[in-house]
A and B are shown apart, each in its own frame.
Chain A
Amino acid sequence: MEKIFTRFGDGTPTEMSESELRADLEAGTEDAADRGKIPPLTEDELNHLFDIFSSPYKFISVEPGQEIVLTYDGAHVKIRRHGLNVERIQGLQIYEKVMGADTLELCHVDYSFKPIKPIVTFEQPVMEQALLTTHAPMFYGAMPNLGLYSQPDGPFPNPAELMPAGKIEEAQASHELAVKEAVRDIVFVGSCMIECGADGINIDSTGAAGDADFLAALLATQQLKEKYPHTCVEIGMAGEFILGMHAGLEFEGTRLAGLYPHDQVKLVEKAGGTIYGPVVNTNTTESTPWNVARVVTFTKAVGEVAKIPIHPNMGMGVGAVPTCDHPPIDTVSRASKAMVEICRLDGL
């Protein structure tokens, strides 16, 4: 067989022999199995991935009947990011009508709950107007972004300065204060958007600032579901592993630091979350087959335990999608097909 075309995790094109492809698939699944203490992919699953990557076609897809539904973070923001002068509601209409989006998400370009709180009365009419003209279910999305709660951006002492100074307890106390404020902000903004008609709240890039960030999302989800039991709350993650920036935080008796996706989902379920979006980071110096085998291994373990729908993140830099501005369709379509066909996904 001729050399097989593929890419590195940064999108750089490369070629592999059959034996190199198989070796990378095996190494990728072993890496995930070792880190997550989960089973590696079976021989049949590795063979399926081999077939996907050795396909000569530029674009491949799932078989008819295996389609899933898609949720998007920051949907219309990406249209503005390309330099297109399109207003937010028009952006959502483009997603719905031109791109065939299954769901929509309204958001602010400053994609965090804290800065949205003082301008939420300007966001609500946009949500109301968007809901009048669109058809697909509509989320309002933003991040907990606990980094905004520490000095100089926020009110509390900066744990990143306290920790190197040996002030561990002070740093932990600052994290705990930030959690309380973030929960208030998420519940406030989320409630405002639900009250004006939103179908769901997407708490996105959760865990970006570590275990305190994840805890804020879980507690806010719990409160939102108590107030609005029929509203969808999606928790999307920022990374595969909860960083122990505080290290002692727990939710319902489970320590958050160090959790991988197959354990994270159980806490999202306990908090009452409707949809969980696991993340597995892309390694830019490894090949796409290595990355796909790794992300499929992690995500398959989530699919096996999840009772709620799972929508893994497969945007730039996560889910084996290369870390580059315009991820190539050859790679994205292979990662998409592999994930959906092996991992019992409900969406992406």
Chain B
Amino acid sequence: MALAHAHASGMGGMRTSGDLVARMQMSRGMKIKEAKEYVANKLSLSVTEIADPVIMTEVRQDLKLGVISPQAGDALGIEAKCRIAEVLDIDINCVNRFKNKAGI
């Protein structure tokens, strides 16, 4: 059922930019249109392009935002979230905590 919704109406998470758009809803309370436009603007892409899995895989790999199938050298987990916080210009709770604990 979750898969049916994901394919029928979902953005696709890390396959595209669904996780980034969700972060804007969660951190700034943005409605979907505003959240998509914010992410598209930060990535210098169109709203259509941020929902495209091929374009977004390349963009995510270039910007080290985390990808579905990481290759050696790609950003993983908290590494990628540090980049996401920078690119979207938002605070991410676990990133701030990680930096504090790591002394970064």
How would you classify the secondary structure of chain A's contact residues: helix, strand, loop or mixed? loop
CB < 8 Å: which of A70, A72, A275, A336 contacts B26? A275
- For B32, the chain A residues whose CB sits under 8 A away are 68-69, 309, 345-347
Contact-residue bracket for chain A: 35 or more
Q: Can you list, as one digit per residue, whether each of A297-324 has a CB less than 8 Å from chain B (1) or not (0)?
A: 0000000000011000011100001000
Interface size on B, residues (CB 8 A): 46
Q: Taking CB as reference atom, which chain A residue is nearest B53? A: A100
Verify A69–B22 contact, CB threshold 8 A.
yes
CB < 8 Å: which of A65, A68, A197 contacts B93? A197
Q: How far is the CA of A232 from the CA of B35 in the complex (A)?
A: 15
Stretch at the interface among A28-36, A133-141, A150-158, A175-183: A133-141
| With A64-B51, A69-B22, A321-B1 as contacts: A309 and B30 at CB distance below 8 Å | yes
Q: Which of B10-63 contact A (CB under 8 A)?
A: 10-15, 18-19, 21-23, 25-27, 29-32, 35, 47-48, 51
Verify A309–B31 contact, CB threshold 8 A.
yes
Verify A69–B8 contact, CB threshold 8 A.
no
A196 at the interface (CB under 8 A from B): yes
CB < 8 Å: which of A61, A132, A314 contacts B7? A61
CB < 8 Å: which of B26, B65, B84 contacts A103? B26
Verify A230–B5 contact, CB threshold 8 A.
no
Q: Taking CB as reference atom, which chain A residue is nearest B6? A: A100
A1 at the interface (CB under 8 A from B): no
| With A96-B13, A97-B68, A136-B14 as contacts: A347 and B25 at CB distance below 8 Å | yes
- For A275, the chain B residues whose CB sits under 8 A away are 25-26
Q: Which residues of B are interface residues toward A (Cβ below 8 A)?
A: 1-15, 18-19, 21-23, 25-27, 29-32, 35, 47-48, 51, 65-66, 68, 76-78, 80-81, 84, 91-94, 97-98
21 CB contacts below 8 A, A to B, read A60-B8, A61-B9, A64-B51, A69-B10, A69-B22, A69-B32, A70-B2, A70-B10, A100-B18, A102-B21, A102-B22, A128-B94, A135-B84, A137-B22, A316-B1, A326-B1, A329-B4, A332-B4, A332-B8, A333-B4, A336-B5
